[in-house]
Structure 1
Amino acid sequence: MGNTAGIFQVSTESIYMLFMALGLYFLRQYFKTNFFWQLSLALSFFITSCLIKPGSIFLAIILTLFFGIKILKKYQSKAIYFIYGSWLLVLMQCAGLKYQFGNFTISYIDAITYYCYLGAKAEAIETNQDFEKVWLERTHFIYNQDPPISKIMAKEDLIEQWQTNKINLGKAYFLNLLENASTGSTPIQDCKNITNKKYFIVSKKVLLGISVWQNIIFSIVAIFLATYLLLACYKSDPYYSIVSFFILYTIFSSGISCSEGDRFNVITFPFVLILMAKCFSKKSTEAAKIYTVR
């Protein structure tokens, strides 16, 4: 439900999910055929996705380094221009912000997100204030600063809270993870009964309830399966380890924000199905072997 409802919203999640799906598809093809152009194309989608969702920059760097030896061996091939071109786009974005604001960074949204959400919740817990009140104060303040100043202030706030409010910062992070994994689709919640349909209220409650349980179930399954397959398939089938790493990276990095419904975790749902298929196919194969032996 969250995936479907999110299509009609102006947000990064749908297009980011498409890029990740394409990247993982070509990566799977690469592991099957060992054609470098498929690896290059896969990495180009992972790298370019940073321009859609800046938080994935570390994922792109890690994956590039993971295939570093293969890339170095093929540094003169034509296919590698997919990777060169993608990183060039990222560098152009960083250079543009450096020229305009003075910081060589891909985005300022990460600092603002921390300051307005994770930092605000940690402060609210420490001072026993309502989160909405602290959020409004911090949001109004940070958005009235120049981008370079906002980045500096967010960094200083993180350092200060880490030194003086570490426990509450950890609590805020855990509460954000819990909220992101147990709430429903915001687009469904925001729907309005414009045409005055009699069944609207009931339908909205049902669909919202389904999205809540989908989020809870998929998030729990995602964490357990991804943790297991990340380690179990590292040598035998690294593709599933990479899918698992992406899922865990997405879920645990979502703790920096909150009050967004299932917006963050819903990205992982299609890829959780891949892990579920892997586990079921593995069990089916083992069962078939046992049956054959008997």
Structure 2
Amino acid sequence: MALIQGFPFLFGCGKNELFIINIFINLFFWIATSVFIFKILNVYLNKKKAFLISSMNLVLIGSAICVFDLLAENIYIFFIVLAIFFLQKHYTTYQFKYLAFCLSILVFSMLIKPGSKLLALCFVIFYFRQLIRNYKQKSMSFFYASWMLVMFQCYSVKQHYGDFTISYIDSITYYNYLGSKASCLKEGKELDQSQNPRGEYFFSLKYDEMGKVAFNDVLNQIENNTFNLVYAYMSDVYDNSTAGNTALYYSVNLKSNSYFESFKAFFFKVSKWQNRIITFIGFFLAVFLIYKFFRSDKVIVACSFFVLYTIFLSGISCSQGDRFHFVFYPFVLILVGKLISVLTPSSEPLQK
């Protein structure tokens, strides 16, 4: 992410210039995501329907607000959508190079969002036979290069902090959120991150100690605090499935505009209901489409898997608003497009 969002520093830009340039970077990836959603949907629907559904991505509050923040979500969303686009190209053209591009991007996505590790590994394992059969193909150089970048990142972290890992964010997130909430439930308290002694203790540790402490805490909680750990996890999933956009919630009226609070309240409520409705539709639609198209449409299965993967992964953290879930909104749009194509089959030929 430093390569993408931090490159303005190479040209002597200050923090203000960095922020402005990153708005345009996020804007580019946000719009480009809609373009590739359209391309994916155009295989299932005519151009008009594909355009209407893909345009809905531009009115989703979470990703729209993220354009104006130094967060990786819109960039990450773009790369996952791009990976699905190449996966679809693989199944429509039967050319291996597109599968290599897809898997290369998924592996690379680990550097943008370390939480994507398991996602990428699942795809690599699923297509492992094809990778072995085609290991000499020129397109595999992209796959090897992506792994080299990941290994370089792991090596760099080991050199500086002691562990061969992409990031410590998974340990930090678990210990400070899910683990802390489970501990608070056991003690009959409510989690308050501003006064979290576990967090203060955890950040006093060296980085190479964090992973060990978090891992031991997981084992201890599973053995001695199972009910509260499961309850905390389910509570986190519910919280992330129903909350509104935190960037809107914490926005400040610096110019003292009279309409600010009304607009803020309105768009926050919209973001909250978008999260609830899209998560509800996404979960059940993903389960249904995996069941119906598991053998016949691997692209839709991949989109469905990503939706479910993100929902279940969100249980590791809390108090994030819709930040976890708006990542899969574009994929729910693709699933909705697929459902529409099934319910109202078009007389037009599919676009290849």
CA contact (8 A) 2:241 2:322 kept: yes
3-state secondary structure, aligned to 1:194: coil
The aligned amino acid for 1:190 is Y
Kindly indicate whether residue 108 of structure 2 is the aligned counterpart of residue 48 of structure 1: yes
CA contact (8 A) 1:179 1:258 kept: yes
CA contact (8 A) 1:116 1:135 kept: no
3-state secondary structure, aligned to 1:176: helix
Distance 1:137 1:17 in 2: 34
1:194 matched residue in structure 2: 254
Kindly tell me the number of residue pairs found equivalent between the two proteins: 287
Distance 2:313 2:117 in 1: 12
CA contact (8 A) 1:120 1:135 kept: no
Distance 2:74 2:195 in 1: 26
Distance 1:249 1:82 in 2: 25
The aligned amino acid for 1:10 is L
Displacement of 1:98: 2.1
The aligned amino acid for 2:219 is I
Q: Over the residues paired in the alignment, what is the CA RMSD in angstroms?
A: 1.4
- Structure 1: 5+ residue stretches without partners: 290-294
Distance 2:249 2:316 in 1: 22
CA contact (8 A) 2:177 2:316 kept: yes
Kindly indicate whether residue 282 of structure 2 is the aligned counterpart of residue 222 of structure 1: yes
Displacement of 1:102: 2.4
1:123 matched residue in structure 2: 183
CA contact (8 A) 1:3 1:14 kept: yes
CA contact (8 A) 1:119 1:158 kept: yes
Distance 1:252 1:230 in 2: 16
CA contact (8 A) 2:162 2:207 kept: no
Displacement of 1:178: 0.2
Distance 1:155 1:269 in 2: 31
1:38 matched residue in structure 2: 98
1:91 matched residue in structure 2: 151
Distance 2:160 2:260 in 1: 48
The aligned amino acid for 1:61 is L
Once the two structures are superposed, the pairs formed by residues 231-250 of structure 1 within 5 Å of their partners are 231-250=291-310
- Structure 2: 5+ residue stretches without partners: 1-60, 348-352
3-state secondary structure, aligned to 1:181: helix
1:257 matched residue in structure 2: 317
1:140 matched residue in structure 2: 200
Measured against aligned partners, the alpha-carbon deviations of 1:56-83 in whole angstroms (never above 9, x if no partner) come to 1111111011111111111111111111
The aligned amino acid for 1:270 is P
Displacement of 1:198: 1.1
The aligned amino acid for 1:53 is K
Displacement of 1:130: 2.3
The 1:133/1:84 distance shift into structure 2, 3 A limit, reads closer
CA contact (8 A) 1:189 1:204 kept: yes
3-state secondary structure, aligned to 1:270: helix
Distance 1:68 1:50 in 2: 18
CA contact (8 A) 1:48 1:87 kept: yes
1:274 matched residue in structure 2: 334
Distance 2:249 2:298 in 1: 39
4+ residue runs over 4 A deviation: none
CA contact (8 A) 2:97 2:140 kept: yes
The aligned amino acid for 2:328 is T
Kindly indicate whether residue 136 of structure 2 is the aligned counterpart of residue 79 of structure 1: no
1:17 matched residue in structure 2: 77
TM-score of the two chains, using structure 1 as the length reference: 0.95
TM-score of the two chains, using structure 2 as the length reference: 0.79
Displacement of 1:50: 0.2
> Could you tell me the percent identity over the aligned residues?
37
3-state secondary structure, aligned to 2:166: coil
CA contact (8 A) 1:94 1:105 kept: yes
Measured against aligned partners, the alpha-carbon deviations of 1:172-191 in whole angstroms (never above 9, x if no partner) come to 00000000000001111122
